[in-house]
Amino acid sequence: MWNNQVDICVLIFCGLFFVLAAGKVPTKPQSNSWRDLIFGGKWFSSSPRLRESKFLPIFAFVPIGPSSCSAPSGEFGNCIPSKDCLVRNGIPAGPCGGGYGVCCIFLQTCGGIIRENSTYFVNPNHPDVYDGTGSCQVTVQKLHPDICQLRLDLDMFSIAPPEAANHLCNQDQLLISGGSPTPTICGSSTGDHMYIDAGLGQSNPIVLSIITSGSFPRLWRIRVTQIHCGSISRADQGCLQYYTAISGRVRSFNYNTVGGRQLSNQDYSICIRNERNFCGIQYNACPDLENNRSRAFTISGNSNNPVPTMVGGGGGGGVAVPTGSGCISDWLLIGCIRSADRIPPLPGCEDRVCGGTFSAEAGMLARTVQSSVRPFRLYFHTDGVEAPNDIDNRGFCLDYVQQPCTSGY
Ligand SMILES: [Ca+2]
């Protein structure tokens, strides 16, 4: 941030200097953008006469600014002078900043070291698929001791799926070491994200590994963003996933209503930032356009048949309970959930939910679920066993909407 501020100051100073030195103070004080403000719109004209101006080469040495840009291939980059991009081992991906910088993207693959913010960890041969075996890892070095978290955006993520019986990631895995514990994932999770606690100091690098075995057309592009301890982008402590909108969608890794398999051995939190003036939250199972009976919430039971909602831990306090009577092995936990459409609301509430129908009540009817326990969090747990009782579970996908404090929450 400090360097960016310095860059901006240098930029403003040089811009004003040259504008003044040229004796051509912009005649239009109302500027449309910061570039116009600093340079006057004429500096960004593409006319050949101005491009040949004796002043212009100077700008090649001045950072264009801290702006981000996007490459034609979809990656985000930094808009910096072409020379800087090459020195930093970036890849120039087209002009930006009115043509005076390049959109510089940073990619690393097996064996690489990430030293730039917003670097992508990509598969070998990217953007083509990779069908090799072994361990492909990159090491993430903190840009600054004051980096507290990493955010991983799985822009593209398709590696071999878990095996069919117990949904274990036996063939391929994404493993993260050196930070907070993260679940091992596999299969397809394009669009999902993770936050990794990066710990204190600069000594412990975080290593991202993708372990592959057997043949599969793998493709991955994971954006690694470094987050300062004081940043407003920082996720709450302990949140593997963090959402900051009044409404949105949360789902398990490798979720897909057609062929997705709920991953085993998961244990993590999904957090939704409590927006100002919102006191409660409602959840609904996502639409499932592919199946006659929705599989948007299939956490336990044989999903090839209709499976009711199950609620509660069902542990029986040490007393033997019938198999499948509660959410013992695989469950989603949301604090004190109730059906939203009961008037008046039911007096009791539940925490754990599982089965094959999303509701806060046992039964075959999917319902809107509400909670006013803050902070808004979901805890997802699966054990290492599926067969023979749990078959073809897809995991969960829920749409959430925060509820204003005025509507009874
Ligand atoms: Ca299980």
DSSP 163-224: PTTT----S-EEEEESSS----B-SB-TT-EEEEE--SSSS--EEEEEEE-S---BEEEEEE
| Cα 383 to middle of ligand 1, angstroms | 5
Higher pLDDT, 390 or 326: 390
For the residues 395-407, what does the mean pLDDT come to? 94
User: Do residues 183 and 381 lie in contact, with contact meaning Cβ atoms separated by under 8 Å?
Assistant: no
Q: Which of 42-46, 170-174, 219-223 has the lowest mean pLDDT?
A: 42-46
Instruction: Give start-end residues of each CATH 2.60.120.290 domain in the chain.
Output: 109-233, 247-404
Q: What is the dihedral of CA 156, 161, 166, 170, to 10 degrees?
A: -100
| Cα 135 to middle of ligand 1, angstroms | 27
The verdict on pTM exceeding 0.75 is: yes
Beta-carbon count within 10 A of 52 CB: 9
| Cα 45 to middle of ligand 1, angstroms | 62
| Cα 265 to middle of ligand 1, angstroms | 8
| Cα 349 to middle of ligand 1, angstroms | 24
| Cα 307 to middle of ligand 1, angstroms | 15
Residue 359 pLDDT > 90? yes
Residue 103 pLDDT > 60? yes
| Cα 297 to middle of ligand 1, angstroms | 14
| Cα 174 to middle of ligand 1, angstroms | 20
For the residues 172-181, what does the mean pLDDT come to? 94
Residue 392 pLDDT > 60? yes
Provide CATH code, domain 247-404.
Answer: 2.60.120.290
Stated length of the chain? 409
Q: Which of 58-67, 115-124, 180-189, 209-218 has the lowest mean pLDDT?
A: 58-67
Residue 9 pLDDT > 80? no
- For the chain, give the mean pLDDT: 85
Q: Which of 42-51, 150-159, 227-236 has the lowest mean pLDDT?
A: 42-51
For the residues 173-190, what does the mean pLDDT come to? 96
| Cα 328 to middle of ligand 1, angstroms | 9
**Count of helices and strands (H, E) across the chain:** 4, 23
Q: What 3-state DSSP class applies to 282? A: strand
Distance (Å, rounded) from C-alpha 130 to C-alpha 123? Answer: 6
Distance (Å, rounded) from C-alpha 35 to C-alpha 39? Answer: 6
- Residue 140's closest CA among 83, 76, 194? 194
User: Do residues 229 and 148 lie in contact, with contact meaning Cβ atoms separated by under 8 Å?
Assistant: yes
Q: How confident is the model at residue 385 (pLDDT cuts 50, 70, 90)?
A: very high
Q: Check residue 346 and give its pLDDT.
A: 87
| Cα 329 to middle of ligand 1, angstroms | 6
| Cα 292 to middle of ligand 1, angstroms | 24
| Cα 105 to middle of ligand 1, angstroms | 40
Q: Which of 207-216, 276-285, 315-324 has the lowest mean pLDDT?
A: 315-324
Q: Please report which helix (H) or strand (E) contains residue 175, including its range.
A: strand 173-177
- 284-307, pLDDT tens digit by residue? 999 999 999 999 999 999 999 999
| Cα 353 to middle of ligand 1, angstroms | 14
Q: Please report which helix (H) or strand (E) contains residue 39, including its range.
A: helix 34-39
For the residues 241-256, what does the mean pLDDT come to? 98
Distance (Å, rounded) from C-alpha 384 to C-alpha 263? Answer: 9
| Cα 76 to middle of ligand 1, angstroms | 38
Class for the domain spanning 109-233: mainly beta
Q: Check residue 203 and give its pLDDT.
A: 74
| Cα 389 to middle of ligand 1, angstroms | 9
Residue type (1 letter), 169 = C
User: Do residues 228 and 146 lie in contact, with contact meaning Cβ atoms separated by under 8 Å?
Assistant: yes
- Residue 210's closest CA among 244, 241, 185, 245? 185
Q: What 3-state DSSP class applies to 85? A: helix
| Cα 199 to middle of ligand 1, angstroms | 31
Residue 119 pLDDT > 60? yes
| Cα 363 to middle of ligand 1, angstroms | 21
Cis amide bond preceding 145, omega within 30: no
Q: How confident is the model at residue 394 (pLDDT cuts 50, 70, 90)?
A: very high
Q: Check residue 201 and give its pLDDT.
A: 74
Q: Check residue 344 and give its pLDDT.
A: 86
| Cα 323 to middle of ligand 1, angstroms | 13
Place of tokens 């009961």: 342
Q: Please report which helix (H) or strand (E) contains residue 18, including its range.
A: helix 2-21
